[in-house]
Amino acid sequence: MESSSDLPTWDGKILSLTAVSPINIALIKYWGKCDEIEIIPINSSLSITLNCDDLCSTTTVSLGESYEESELILNGKSEGFSDRIKRMLSFLTDSIPAEGAKAWDTVKGEEITIPKEDLLKMKVHVESTNNFPTASGVASSSSGLSCLALCLNKVYGCEMDLGECSRLARLGSGSACRSLFGGFVIWDKGFDLTNFEDIRNITPEQVLEASKNSKAIQVKDESHWDEIALVICVATSEKKKIASTKGMKDSVDTSEFLAYRATNIVPKRLENITKAIEDKDWNTFTEIIIKESNSLHASCLDTYPPIFYMNETTKNLASLTHDINQNFYEPVAAYTVDAGANCFLITKKKHLNYLIDLVSDVAGLDDSKIKFNFKDEIETEHNQIDGDLISKTLDPYRGKIELQQLIVTRVGKGCHFVAQ
Q: Establish whether the linkage from the previous residue to 41 is cis, with ω within 30° of 0.
A: no
Return the pLDDT at 236.
82
Architecture of domain 4-418: 2-Layer Sandwich (3.30)
pLDDT interval class at 224 (50, 70, 90) = very high
Question: 206 pLDDT exceeds 60?
Answer: yes
C-alpha pair distances (Å), 237 with each of 24, 89, 128, 151, 272:
18, 31, 20, 29, 33
Summarize the confidence of residues 292-301 as an average pLDDT: 98
What residues contact 162, with CB distance under 8 A and at least 6 apart?
180, 181, 216, 414
pLDDT at 382: 63
pLDDT of residue 75: 86
Radius of gyration of the CA atoms of the chain, in A:
22
Q: Above 90 in pLDDT, residue 80?
A: no
pLDDT of residue 390: 81
With pLDDT > 90 as the criterion, what percentage of the chain qualifies? 85
Residue 53 backbone phi and psi in degrees, to 5: -65, -25
Distances (CA, A) of 261 to 254, 257, 274, 300: 13, 6, 18, 12
Q: Is the pLDDT of residue 135 over 60?
A: no
Q: Which stretch of 36-40, 88-92, 383-387 has the lowest confidence by average pLDDT?
A: 383-387
Estimate to the nearest angstrom the gap between the alpha carbon of 214 and the chain centroid: 16
User: What's the pLDDT band for 1 if we cut at 50, 70, 90?
Assistant: very low
Quick one: average pLDDT of 11-27? 96
Q: Is the pLDDT of residue 138 over 90?
A: no
For residue 187, the model assigns a pLDDT of 99
Is the pLDDT assigned to residue 358 strictly greater than 90?
A: yes
Q: Which residues pair with 9 in a beta bridge?
A: 16, 104
- Check: CB of residue 125 under 8 Å from CB of residue 67: yes
pTM tops 0.85, yes or no: yes
pLDDT of residue 136: 56
- The reported pLDDT for the residue numbered 419 is 83
* Structural domain spans, the chain: 4-418
User: How does residue 293 score in pLDDT terms, banded at 50, 70 and 90?
Assistant: very high
For the residues 308-323, what does the mean pLDDT come to?
97
Q: Which of 21-25, 269-273, 275-279 has the lowest mean pLDDT?
A: 21-25
Cβ contacts of residue 50 below 8 Å, gap of 6+? 22, 23, 24, 25, 230, 409, 410, 411, 412
Lowest mean pLDDT among 188-192, 235-239, 343-347: 235-239
Q: Give 94-125 pLDDT, tens digit per residue.
A: 889 999 999 999 999 999 999 999 999 999 99
Average the pLDDT over 397-414 and give the result. 96
Buried b (16+ CB within 10 A) or exposed e, 129-144: ebebeeebbbbbbbbb
The confidence band for 241, taking pLDDT boundaries of 50, 70 and 90, is confident
Mean pLDDT of 59-70: 94
Mean pLDDT of the chain: 93
Interval 155-182: pLDDT, tens: 999 989 999 999 999 999 999 999 999 9
- Report the pLDDT averaged over residues 326-338: 94
